[in-house]
Amino acid sequence: MPKEFLYRGRGAEELKSISMDEFISLLPSRMRRSLRRGLNNEQHILIEKLRSSPDGKPIKTHVRDLVILPEMIGRTLLVHNGKEFVEIKINEKMVGHYLGEFVSTMKQVRHGRPGIGASRSSMYIPLK
């Protein structure tokens, strides 16, 4: 039997049923301050899209600085990483984090051989 996930002693269903002010009081200080200051226009539009769209349809967004709320659990978002949209499925463990934390903006650097002209010795490498 899998262990039930609790956020600050509350289950996912209980988090969905409490008011926004109660949920904000459970968050760490950085997220609490962000939500108390209010949502900007892009964040507000994203939340309205989440509330109005059907559950199965993923929503594309560039908003990376929105705190994941309990009402987003089970939804799929396509979050932009600067180059492409990356699909994330929101679960209970993501509540209270920012959307951008789950979509990396950089990929791993893999160094190969140096190209022509990259060093002094490469001047003498034949082209064929």
Residues of the chain with pLDDT under 50: none
Q: Which pair of tokens denotes residue 3?
A: 């262990």
Whether residue 34 is contained in a domain is answered as yes
What is the pTM for the complete model shown?
A: 0.80
User: What is residue 123's predicted lDDT score, i.e. its pLDDT?
Assistant: 64
Whether residue 93 is contained in a domain is answered as yes
Residue-range definition of the domain harbouring residue 66:
12-106
Per-residue pLDDT tens digits for 110-127: 887 777 767 776 666 666
Residues whose CB is less than 8 angstroms from the CB of residue 10 and which lie 6 or more positions away in sequence, other chains included: 18, 26
Residues whose CB is less than 8 angstroms from the CB of residue 109 and which lie 6 or more positions away in sequence, other chains included: none
User: What is residue 104's predicted lDDT score, i.e. its pLDDT?
Assistant: 92
Indicate the number of domains in the chain: 1
Cα dihedral across residues 102, 103, 105, 109: positive or negative: positive
Which CATH number belongs to the domain containing residue 87 in this structure? 3.30.860.10
